[in-house]
Amino acid sequence: MLTLLSIGLVTLQAAQGAGEHAEHFNKCATVCSGCQLVCDSCFKHCLTLAGEAKKEHAETAQYCSDCAECCKACATLCARQSPLAAPMLQCCATCCDKCAESCDRMKDDKQMADCAKTCRDCAKHCRDMSKMLGKG
């Protein structure tokens, strides 16, 4: 049975472990926030194109919107150095991969190419951070 003292020690150990990675958490939070902004902008771009009867952009708009939300949550948890950041980092990397794949289908669209690149960079940062935490 856990006592308040053992709960306190586990919490302290987790905080100390997160403190070792504070700089990396902050960098990952910054990268995820930047990806959120790019994905939100690309969402609007895709929505506009879908509204112009370019239906192939509707699915990509959904990926961009969902990826932006995931990146926002990941940035928040990383900024807080949350113990729940590890699973969110893995989720964010997966969302970024899917968004990049979808944006890559529109080869001649610069904004979508930029979104795909940003998502790939974010996925890499998330995976690297997850490995650093020993969870990936």
One-character DSSP codes across 40-77: HHHHHHHHHHHHTT-THHHHHHHHHHHHHHHHHHHHHH
Nearest to 136 by CA among 97, 102, 96, 85: 85
Distant-in-sequence, close-in-space partners of 18: CB < 8 Å, separation ≥ 6: 25, 81, 83
* Cβ atoms of residues 118 and 104 within 8 Å: no
pLDDT score recorded for residue 4? 42
Task: Name the CATH code of domain 23-132 (choices 1.10.1040.10, 3.40.50.300, 1.20.1270.360, 2.60.120.10).
Answer: 1.20.1270.360
**pLDDT recorded at residue 19:** 59
Q: What tokens does 32 get?
A: 């995820």
Q: In the chain, which stretches have pLDDT less than 70?
A: 1-20, 135-136
Q: Residue 135: what pLDDT? A: 59
